[in-house]
Structure 1
Amino acid sequence: MDRPELADFLRRCRLRLTPADVGLAAGARRRTPGLRREEVARLAGMSVDYYARLEQARGARPSRQMLAALARALRLTPGERDHLVHLAGGRPPREPADEEYVRPGLLLILDRLHDTPAMVVNDIGDVLAQNAMSAALFGDVSDRPPGRRNLVRRVFTDPGARAAVPAEDYEPLARSHVAQLRAVVAARPKDVRPAALAAELRSASPLFARMWAEHEVAVRRTDVKRLLHPVVGELVLDCEEMLSPDGEQRLVVLTARPGSGSCERLRLLQVVGLQDLSVG
Structure 2
Amino acid sequence: MDRRELAVFLRSRRERITPAEVGLPAGPRRRTPGLRREEVAQLAFISTEYYTRLEQGRAPRPSREVLAGVVRALRLSNAERAHLHHLAGATPGPPPGPAREVRRSVLDLLQRLPQAAAIVTSAAYEVLAWNDLAAALMEDFSVLPRRDRNLVRQVFLGPFPQGRRLYGVSDADAFARTAVRRLRATAARYPDDPEVRRLVRDLLAGSEDFGRLWAAHDVDAERTLCKTFQHPLVGPVTVNCDVLDISDQDQQVVIYTAVPGSPSDEALRLLSVIGTQRMEVDH
So what's the TM-score if we normalise by structure 1?
A: 0.63
Distance 1:149-1:99 versus aligned 2 partners, 3 A rule = farther
1:165 corresponds to which of 153, 168, 185: 168
Q: Which runs of 5+ in 1 are unaligned?
A: 1-7, 14-50, 59-78
Query: Offset at 1:174?
Result: 1.5
**Is the CA contact (8 Å cut-off) linking 2:124 and 2:183 kept in structure 1?**
yes
Aligned partners of 2:188 and 2:225: how far apart in 1? 23
Q: Secondary structure at the match of 2:154?
A: helix
- Corresponding position of 1:136: 136
Q: Deviations over 1:151-190 (max 9, x none)?
A: 1111111133517226x63322211211221222223334
> Segments of 4+ in structure 1 off by > 6 A?
none
Q: Deviations over 1:28-73 (max 9, x none)?
A: xxxxxxxxxxxxxxxxxxxxxxx9xx68x69xxxxxxxxxxxxxxx
**Is the CA contact (8 Å cut-off) linking 1:178 and 1:212 kept in structure 2?**
yes
Distance 1:205-1:232 versus aligned 2 partners, 3 A rule = same
| Bigger Rg, structure 1 or 2 | 2
- Corresponding position of 1:121: 121
Distance 1:102-1:221 versus aligned 2 partners, 3 A rule = farther
Q: CA RMSD in A?
A: 3.4
- Corresponding position of 1:205: 207
**Is the CA contact (8 Å cut-off) linking 1:103 and 1:244 kept in structure 2?**
no
Distance 1:88-1:155 versus aligned 2 partners, 3 A rule = farther
Aligned partners of 1:125 and 1:144: how far apart in 2? 15
- Corresponding position of 1:239: 241
**Is the CA contact (8 Å cut-off) linking 2:155 and 2:166 kept in structure 1?**
no
**Is the CA contact (8 Å cut-off) linking 1:106 and 1:244 kept in structure 2?**
no
Structure 2 residue 241 is the aligned partner of structure 1 residue 218? no
* Aligned residue pair count: 206
Q: Deviations over 1:71-115 (max 9, x none)?
A: xxxxxxxx97x89xx589634616526644112232121121122
**Is the CA contact (8 Å cut-off) linking 1:228 and 1:234 kept in structure 2?**
yes
- Corresponding position of 1:22: none
Distance 1:147-1:88 versus aligned 2 partners, 3 A rule = farther
Query: Offset at 1:144?
Result: 1.7
- Corresponding position of 2:56: none
Q: Which runs of 5+ in 2 are unaligned?
A: 1-17, 45-70, 79-97
Q: Secondary structure at the match of 1:209?
A: helix
